[in-house]
Structure formats: structure tokens, C-alpha cells
Structure 1
Amino acid sequence: MQKYIILIVSAIVVWFLFFKEGEVSIGPGVYAIDAPEQKTKSTAKTFQVNGYTLTEMASFKLKAKVLSKKNYSLGRETDLSPVDLALGWGRMSDESVINNITFSQSNRWYYWRTDAYPIPRREIETSSANMHMIPANEFVEDALKSVKKGDIIQLVGSLVNVEANDGWRWRSSVTRTDTGGGSCELIWVENLSIVTP
């Protein structure tokens, strides 16, 4: 009997170490005070990535808390973006607030729900977003793989629109106040660092 218990405990430990994404907790407090910063490009720069044409719409940088992370391996979008991060700033970076909200992601969408609003609904909507990450290089891609739910990250890049020769398009939101379809940011990430205290 003791042998089976040891085997079960070992299996659980292995699962947590190798298969579970992991999660970071840093306690209460606002760790990402400001909303993302963006500046519209006066001249839109266009470049090619993996057979797609990317057009920079605005420079973009932020410091935010990772509310949820989702890796993708299916769908045309994965040619460019293997990871979506649901990110929060302002009071949506405070664990005393977000611990009262459940977050999830699927099909490139970000969902949240709560039984009792810890802050106003509109503040939740405008202080968090689902962001599709397009790594500009292997260092950014490696950093994205290392990000865990609960981390504080900083990133610098551009909001981009994507087009393919066959007419397929993928557009970025360029405002923090939209919700629903088309409200996700599509980011060409040039630099990403984990700055969790």
C-alpha cells in the first residue's frame, strides 16, 4: 500500500513540475500602475514575416500583470503568434482585486467572470485585454515561453495589422476602450522581460 502512495505522490509531483504551466503570486498591491502607451505612426512601416505582410499602426509599450496565458498550435494565426496573454494594469494588476475574478482563454478570446465585482465592470474592461503576441526574434519567443500567470512583464513593440496574398487579414485594436470582437491587440514584440518582484 505504501508503495502505491509513493507512486501516486511521485506522479503528482512530476505533473506539477513538467506539465502544469505554473502560477506566480506576489500578493496585494498595484504592480503595473499605468495603462499601455501607444503613439500612432506618422508613416506606417510595412515588412514581411513568414509570408505575411505586417503594417505597424502604432508604437506600443506596457507594464502589466499576466492574468492568463494560452499557447496555440492550431489555426492560421499560429504562423505568427504562438501565444496570447491576457494582461491587466492599474487595479487589474492587484491580486486583492483579481483574486475575485476568474479568467480563461480559448479560440483567441479572453473571458472573465465574477460573482461580486471588486471594482466597477467598466474598469475591468478597460484595464485588461487579450493580446496576441508576435515575437520579433527567438529571444522574445523564449521569454514568452517562460512567462507564467501572475508574472509582471514589460514589453516594447508595435500594434500591427496583418495581410496575406490570398486576402486573409488580421487586425489589431488601437484603443483600450473597446470590447468584444476585434478588441484584441496584435503586437509585434521587439522586447519582452519578466520583471516580477
Structure 2
Amino acid sequence: MIRSLLKWLVIASLVLLGVSLWRMHDLPPATELSSSLLEEPIQTPLKQAVFSVESHGITYQVQPLYQYDLTGLVVSKHDANTWWDYLHREWNDSLNIVDVCVVWGNNVRSGSYADINFSSGQFTCNFSTNSNEAFAAFDQTAISNNHLLTDNPQLAKLIRSVQVGDQIHFRGQLAEYSHHHGFAFKRGTSITRTDTGNGACETVFIENFDILRTGGKPWRGLCWIAGLMLLLSLIAWFMQPVRFND
């Protein structure tokens, strides 16, 4: 009787875990978004000298161009530490820790992002939809892929904790950066929201980063509960005495 109950608990836990993993990155509806996401990014010219930072034994030269302030909804994310990312390793680029693709402004106001599919590559944010209405309503100047730079381990940990569906605010500098670790490497930044294609991403050396509201509710919590249930039920299953039939 107990083994039968544990079997069904294992099955239920697996189902709940699978559904939670599938749904935990659902984007929140526009009614759940902060009004601050309606604001446009703030960009101010800078006159600041090049400065040096070190990350993982590599010294980078960073040239700030503009002060930059953005509040938005994370619709896609790429962590440079993911196993299939080979370009950051080949380029010795450990300063760019995470890319976040965010929407704001008209896309929040219209809610058109809800019918768009978003995905991230190693340096890109892609979006598509089967809805002509959603595509027509989607403002392509109110989305950006942001290459986030930091040499601060605590800040890097916070940024890496961000998930799709979170509402975030960050401040930093739109910047170019380079190194000469084995070869000459340099990456630039977009300085306008109207460009597209190669070079259209914003490269931001982060000063402050905040998660205003977490997304994925209630699925993120249920994912942890399902995982714990699965672990405990499996332990209980294997602790049950084995009965042999004569």
C-alpha cells in the first residue's frame, strides 16, 4: 500500500516539476507590470577617460561613451557561462557575463510582447510571431539586447540570478571595451534604439542593478516544491523494505 502511494507521489511530482519548468518563464501580463516600465531609457553623453578593470586574470580597457539608465521586462536571457557558449571562451571575454533582452515603453503599453516568441543566442536576441496583429503592434525601437559588463563578483551573482519574466532596472555606461590577451579584441556598443542587425546591441558597464519584481509566479515556487517532493518520495521509496515472494 505504501509503495503504491509513493509511486503515485513520484509520478505526481514529476508531472508538477515538468509543468513548472515549462511555465516558469511565462511572461507576466501587462497589468502586472510596474508603471516605470513605460518610461524610455535615459541616455546622457559622457566625457570620461578610459579605465582598466581585471576579470579572470585579463585586463580590459573600458571606454565609456554615455551614461545609461533602463527599466524593462526581461523577455530573454543568455548567460556567457552556459556550456554551449564558445565565443566568449575563444575571445577571452569574461567581462560580458550576461545578455538580457528587455522590452519597455510602447510594447508594455500595448501588451504586444505577450504574443511574441523571444530567444537569445550568444550575442543576439531574436523574436518572431505567427500573429500579424501582434507584429504590427510591436515597437521594434522599444526592445534591446544588452551585453552587461561587470568585474564585481557580487554584482555578477545578482545579474546572473535574473530570470525571464523579471522586471529590472539598471544604470551604467554605454561603453566600448577591449583587451590584448593573446590577440587584439574589441567590442563596441549601439548608442541608439533605432538600429538593427549586427552592432545594434547595447554594451553596458553596470554600476547599479535591481530586480524590481520577480516573474514566473506561481511556477518558480512550485518548481522547488515539486523537486523537493520528488527527492523525498524517491528516498522514501528506496527506504521501503523489499519483500520476496516464496
Please point out which of 109, 118, 123 is paired with 2:124: 109
What is aligned with 2:68? 60
Change (3 A) 1:15 1:137: farther
Structure 1 Cα separation of the partners of residues 92 and 29 of structure 2: 34
Runs (4+) of structure 1 moved beyond 6 Å? none
Q: Is the 8 Å Cα contact of residues 67 and 173 (structure 2) preserved in structure 1?
A: yes
**TM-score w.r.t. structure 1 length?**
0.85
Whether 2:164 is the aligned partner of 1:149: answer yes
Deviations 1:73-110 (A, max 9, x none): 23236511221100111132358321110000112110
Structure 2 Cα separation of the partners of residues 57 and 77 of structure 1: 23
Unpaired segments of 5 or more residues in structure 2?
215-246
Question: Which protein has the bigger helix share?
Answer: 2
Name the amino acid aligned to 1:9.
A
* Aligned residue-pair number: 195
Cα RMSD (Å) = 2.7
Q: Is the 8 Å Cα contact of residues 44 and 56 (structure 1) preserved in structure 2?
A: yes
What is aligned with 1:35? 40
Structure 1 Cα separation of the partners of residues 104 and 7 of structure 2: 46
Whether 2:145 is the aligned partner of 1:130: answer yes
Percent same amino acid at aligned positions?
Answer: 22
Whether 2:77 is the aligned partner of 1:69: answer yes
Q: Which has the larger radius of gyration?
A: 2
Structure 2 Cα separation of the partners of residues 119 and 34 of structure 1: 21
Name the amino acid aligned to 2:40.
A
What is aligned with 1:195? 212
What is aligned with 2:185? 168
**TM-score w.r.t. structure 2 length?**
0.69
Q: Is the 8 Å Cα contact of residues 104 and 111 (structure 1) preserved in structure 2?
A: yes
Structure 2 Cα separation of the partners of residues 12 and 82 of structure 1: 33
Moved more, 22-31 or 146-155: 22-31
Q: CA deviation at 1:11?
A: 3.6
Name the amino acid aligned to 1:137.
N
Please point out which of 22, 25, 35 is paired with 1:23: 25
Report the secondary structure of 2:111's partner residue. Answer: helix
Change (3 A) 1:20 1:48: farther
Whether 2:126 is the aligned partner of 1:118: answer no
Deviations 1:129-185 (A, max 9, x none): 111111342332122122121111110111110111222111111111100000001
Superposed, 1:175-190 pairs within 5 Å as: 175-190=192-207
Change (3 A) 1:12 1:72: farther
Superposed, 1:64-103 pairs within 5 Å as: 64-73=72-81, 74=85, 75=88, 76=91, 78-93=93-108, 96-103=111-118
Change (3 A) 1:45 1:22: farther
